[in-house]
Amino acid sequence: MCDVCTTVSRRFFCGGALTLPLSRIARGQAPTAGLLEPQLRLTNTNSPPNSRTVALTFDACPGHFDHRIADTLVRYNIPATIFVTGLWLRGNPQGLAYLLARPDIFTLENHGAQHLPPILGGGKIFGLTSAGTPAAIRAEVQNGAAAITAATGRAPGWYRGAAAIYSPQAIPLIEALGFGIGGYSLSADAGASLPHNVVAQRMENARDGDVIIGHINQPKRDSGAGIAAGLVALHNSGTRFVRLNELTRT
């Protein structure tokens, strides 16, 4: 396989012929009408028959560091993209050191400075205060990137907003800052809310090209045990893993 040939495609759940209902709208959990939840998939994976290639992405929102996940990634040499916030970096120096010790496995990307959803107009979504204005969205993205550069010496190239939901106007604004939008195609843990057996099953059922999202900041929740089990299952099935920084954006 040629990793550098692997590309990603994104499309939006809302918009044009691809309009699909947001699952969160269907569950009635938040006023997400008019907002976008970008989907991201790998294309041109060149996976052999009966094999699959996936990208693992784990969010480190505010919170802690889940060694059940991190230790499994290290044990099996599974590469993963970690979306970190400036808040998480400040609160988890030992977790950061753990990630920095294995640059062959972990790449840090931008989850914002303060975990403020890139949504215009104020209000809250999933309990998170929205950035509210274009200037605040820019500050969230750029200050998050600066925190990663300060911590790692490397400038991130991908941004995933808090809650992974965006105002439509925020997408071109963020892309103009030079970032790819870190969407996903498979939610493993639904915000670290699912029981371990469900999480593991979701990961085992991943399809070729999936960009999988999970959370590495909730070590006390049951979901993390499921992600660790899912990682072992993916590894044992011969799944190949790519990080987002290895990809070509199309």
Q: Which residues bind Zn ion (CB under 5 A)?
A: 59, 61, 162
- The residue (of 162 and 239) whose beta carbon lies closer to Zn ion is 162
CB of 51 to Zn ion, least distance (A): 31
Q: Which residue sits closest to Zn ion, CB atoms considered?
A: 61
Long-range pairs, 175-180, Cβ under 8 A, ≥24: 177/138, 177/141, 177/142, 179/110, 179/141, 179/145, 180/8, 180/244, 180/249
CB of 122 to Zn ion, least distance (A): 19
CB of 143 to Zn ion, least distance (A): 16
Token pair listed for 120: 């215009």
CB of 85 to Zn ion, least distance (A): 7
- The residue (of 113 and 162) whose beta carbon lies closer to Zn ion is 162
- The residue (of 56 and 209) whose beta carbon lies closer to Zn ion is 56
CB of 59 to Zn ion, least distance (A): 4
- The residue (of 47 and 57) whose beta carbon lies closer to Zn ion is 57
- The residue (of 52 and 215) whose beta carbon lies closer to Zn ion is 215
DSSP symbols for 36-51? B-EEEEEE---PPTT-
CA 192 to CA 17: how far, in whole Å? 31
How many C-beta atoms lie closer than 10 Å to residue 13's C-beta?
A: 18
CB of 115 to Zn ion, least distance (A): 6
In the chain, which ranges are E strands?
Answer: 7-12, 38-43, 53-60, 80-84, 106-110, 124-125, 128-129, 158-159, 180-181, 186-187, 211-215, 240-242, 248-249
C-beta separation of 80 from 54 below 8 A: no
CB-neighbour burial class of residue 135 (10 A; exposed 0-12, middle 13-18, buried 19+)? exposed
Q: CA 31 from chain center: how many Å?
A: 22
- The residue (of 58 and 106) whose beta carbon lies closer to Zn ion is 58
